[in-house]
Structure 1
Amino acid sequence: MKKIICALAALAAGLVLAVPGASAAPAAAAPAGGSVRIELPPPTGDLAVGRDTLHLVDRHRKDPWVPTEDRELMLSLYYPALARTGTPAPYMSVPEAKALLTDRGQLGEYVTPERVAAVRTHSRVGAVPRATPAGYPLIVLSPGFTMPRASLTVLAEDLASRGYVVAAVDHAYESDGTVFPGGRLLTCTACEEVRPDGSVRRVSDGRARDIPFVLDRLTGPRSAWRYSALIDSRHIGMAGHSIGGAASSATMAVDPRVDAGVNLDGTFFTPVPEGGLGGRPFLMLAGDPALLPPDFPDTSWEDTWSRLDGWKRWLTVTGAGHPTFTDWPVLGDAAGYPHPETPLSGTRSQQITRAYVGAFFDLHLRGLPAPRLDGPTAADPEVLFHRS
C-alpha cells in the first residue's frame, strides 16, 4: 500500500501541463549488471567544489508527519574550494540507495544499491574553502517528493563550480530513505498521509516553512555552518524539482530574502499569490507535454504564469520526462537502464538543466549576461520558449 500511495503522490507532485511538442524514441535496453564505476559528468565551471553535511533541528516546530518529534533537515552544502584538497565525497549511503531502488521498480534490475552508493562525484569532503571578499550567492535546492537531495548532485556541483554556495535539503520523512545522525534511516512517512487530491499541498507548504529556517541557520547571527562566511546573504536563489519546484515559489511568497526562483517540472500545489512575488524573477522549466497523459488535469502553470509579476520564462524541453532535471537519466544511461519515461539522453538532460538554471541565476543573482534566456537557440533545439 505504501508503495502505491508513494507512486500516486509522486505522480501528482511532479507532472505539469505544458505546451505540445514532439517526443523522442526511448533508448535501447541494455543487459542488467555491470561493474564499471558510474561517474557523474564533471562540472562546467572553473572552480573546484567542496562538500559539507549539516544536520538542523527546529526546536520551535514539530514535524508535520511525526508530530511527536521536532522538525529535522539534512543538508549537503557545496562550495567553491581550493583544488586538490579534501577527499572524494560519497554519492549516498548504501541504505539510502537500497531504499531508493526499492521504490524505483525496474531500475533495480539494472544497478545494485552498492553501485549507486559508489557513484563518483566531483565534490570533496574537507576541501579548503576558496575565500572571496564579497562572498558567494546562496542557492537552495529542494528535491522531488520521495526523492533524496542526492538526486540533484549534478546541478549542485555545477552551480558551486560557477561560484555559488549550494544547500541541497532533505526534508525529514519525505524521501524514500535518508540517513540522519545516529544511523537513523527515516523513510517516507508522508507517503502514508498524502494523496493526489490537493493534500499534496501540505508538502510544499511545509517546505516553505523549512527553507526560511534553513536561511536563518545559514545566514543569521548564530550560523550553524562553519563556513557561513562564504555566503553573500544579499543574493539568494532557490530551485526545486517537482514538489520542490512548487516549494520554490511558496517560499518566495513568504520570505523576501529569496531573490529568484526556479520550478523544474513541478505542479504548483501551493498557488502563487494573486499579487505575485513582489516583482522577483521566476523560471519555469518543464518536460515534454507529449509525454503527459492526454487527460492530465493540471492548469497550475497557466494560473501561475498570469500571477508572476517580474521577469519570467516558461520553457519546455522536447523529449524530457519528469526525471530529466535530476541525476537519474545520467545514472540510467550509465547503468544501461532504458528509462522510457525520459527519452532525452542523460547527456543532453544534464547539459540543458545546468545551462538554463545556471544562466538564470547568473543573470539574476550576479548580473551576468544570459543570452540563452533571450529566445530559442540552434545550440539547444530541444528547448522551446512557450512563454517569455
Structure 2
Amino acid sequence: MPSSTPLRAATAGTIRAGAALTLTAALVLPTASPAAGADRPHGAPPAVLPAPTGDHPVGTTVLHLVDGEREDVWVGGPRELMVTLWYPARSGAGRTAPYMTEAESAATIDALGLELPADTLHRIRTNARLDVPPASRRGPFPLVVLSPGAGLSRTQTSALAEDLASHGFVVAGVDHAHEAAPVEFPDGLVTDCAGCRSGEWALGAVNRAEDVSFLLDRLTGSDAVWRWSRVIDDERIGMAGHSWGGTATAETLLAEERVDAGINLDGPYYAPAVDAGLDKPLALIENDQGQAWDGVENMWPRLTGWRQWIRLEGSGHSNGTDRGVLMEQLGLADALTPEQWAAQFGDIPVERGLEAVRAYSVAFFDHHLRDGEQPLLDDPAEAYPELVVVDP
C-alpha cells in the first residue's frame, strides 16, 4: 500500500489547491445549520439520487485494482485504483448500495465542518443493488468509463452512472489514487488528493489515461478480475469525465485505441492532446460562466472526427455531478454564498441541469457505441433548450 496523508489532516489544503482546476473552493463551506434535513421522517434517507430513466434495473460492485508494474507519480509505491461498476441487472431485487462508505462520509463531513451525522453521506439512497447478477441475456453491453474532477470522487457521478447503466451500459467509475478524495481502500486507509497540491494538471491527465488502459486490461480478456466481465463488449468503449476527468478523457482518446468516443464535462485541454488533435468523436459540455477553459478554443480546430461543443445555459462547473441535487436535499444550499453557488451550479435548477447532462450522455454513447438514431444530437436544444450548440 502506498503511503499517504490521512484525509482529516490534509483536506482543507487539498481543496484550496485544487480550486484552480475544479473550483472545489466552493466545497469549503461555512458550518451548516444543525437542523439541515431535520424535517425528514425518522429512518428516512437524508437524500435520494434521481431515479434512472432507462428500462434496466441497476446493479453495482466495487473493485480494488493494484498495478504492480507502475509507480504512483504522486506518492510512490504501486499504482492503486478504487473502481465502482454499475451495470444492467437481472432484476431489481437485492440490497441497495450505499452512496459512500461510512469512513468516506465521516471524513467528508469532518473536513468540511458540517453539523451532520457522520454517516449522512453513507445513508444517501442510491438506485443500485449491490453485487446482484447482471442482465447477461441482453448483453454484451458497451462500457463507459467515468473519471471525476480533482479532489472529488467517483461516487459523485453516481446519478449519471446509474442512468447509463439503466440504458444498457456497463459503467466504470474510477477513483484515480491521490487525485480523488475522500477514497477508502480495503485496509481502511482514507486518502486525499496529493495530486491537487502539485498543480501538475497535464501530468495528471496523462496519468489518468494510463490508469484507464490498466483498467481495461483488468476488466476485459481471459484474466478479467470481475466475475461477470463477459457482459462487457470490449469492442465498444467510451469515456466521460468531469473537469480534470474531462481533460483525461481527451488524453485517453489519444493514447488508448480501445476507447472510441468521449465527453468532456467542463474541463480544459492540455498537451499532448491539444497539440495532436483527435479523429474520434468528442463532445464538450461547458459551463455558462462566460470564459472557456484553457485549451478549448485551440483544441476545437484539431478535432477531425465527430465533434460537438455545447454550452449548458445557466450552468456552473458541477451541474453534471450529484453535488447540487444532494446539497439542496440536505439543506446545504444556503451554506454557499450566492457567488459560490453560481460558480458551481449557475442559476439553472440543479435537477434540470443534471437531467440534461444525463440525457445528452445517454444519446451520445448510444449513437457512437451502438449506432443508435439519436435526434437529440442533431438538435440538442429541441429536447433541452439549455443545451446550446456553440459555433466558434
Query: Aligning the two structures, in what range does the TM-score lie when normalised by the shorter sequence?
Result: 0.7 to 0.9
Asked if the contact 2:142–2:369 (Cα under 8 Å) also holds between the matched residues in 1, the reply is yes
Residue of structure 2 equivalent to 1:71 = 79
Structure 2 regions of 5+ residues with no counterpart? 1-8, 24-31
Residue of structure 1 equivalent to 2:368 = 364
Tell me whether 1:34 sits opposite 2:34 in the alignment. Answer: no
Q: Residues 117-266 of structure 1 correspond to what in structure 2 (within 5 A)?
A: 117-132=122-137, 134-192=139-197, 194-195=198-199, 199-266=200-267
**Secondary structure of residue in 1 paired with 2:92:** coil
2:210, 2:355 → 1: CA distance? 31
Residue of structure 1 equivalent to 2:88 = 80
1:64, 1:103 → 2: CA distance? 25
Q: State, as a whole percentage, how many aligned pairs show the same letter.
A: 41
1:133, 1:377 → 2: CA distance? 32
- In structure 1, what residue type is equivalent to 2:162? E
Q: CA RMSD in A?
A: 2.2
1:113 deviates by 3.8
- In structure 1, what residue type is equivalent to 2:284? M
Match of 2:70 among 61, 69, 75: 61
1:132, 1:365 → 2: CA distance? 19
**Secondary structure of residue in 1 paired with 2:258:** coil
TM-score w.r.t. structure 2 length?
0.86
1:12, 1:63 → 2: CA distance? 23
2:33, 2:78 → 1: CA distance? 45
**Secondary structure of residue in 2 paired with 1:11:** helix
1:82, 1:306 → 2: CA distance? 44
- In structure 2, what residue type is equivalent to 1:89? A
1:358, 1:252 → 2: CA distance? 19
Work out the number of aligned pairs and report it.
361
- Higher relative contact order, structure no. (Cα contacts within 8 Å, ≥ 6 residues apart): 1
2:96, 2:12 → 1: CA distance? 36
Judge which range, 181-190 or 69-78, deviates more: 181-190
Tell me whether 1:373 sits opposite 2:369 in the alignment. Answer: no
Residue of structure 2 equivalent to 1:288 = 288
Structure 1 regions of 5+ residues with no counterpart? 16-28
- In structure 2, what residue type is equivalent to 1:327? D
- In structure 1, what residue type is equivalent to 2:315? A
Tell me whether 1:313 sits opposite 2:317 in the alignment. Answer: no
Change (3 A) 1:32 1:320: farther
1:387 deviates by 3.2
- In structure 2, what residue type is equivalent to 1:65? W
2:320, 2:215 → 1: CA distance? 23
Tell me whether 1:386 sits opposite 2:385 in the alignment. Answer: no
TM-score w.r.t. structure 1 length?
0.87
Change (3 A) 1:116 1:376: same
Asked if the contact 2:54–2:163 (Cα under 8 Å) also holds between the matched residues in 1, the reply is yes
Asked if the contact 2:11–2:192 (Cα under 8 Å) also holds between the matched residues in 1, the reply is no
Asked if the contact 2:146–2:174 (Cα under 8 Å) also holds between the matched residues in 1, the reply is yes
1:383, 1:273 → 2: CA distance? 24
1:269 deviates by 3.2
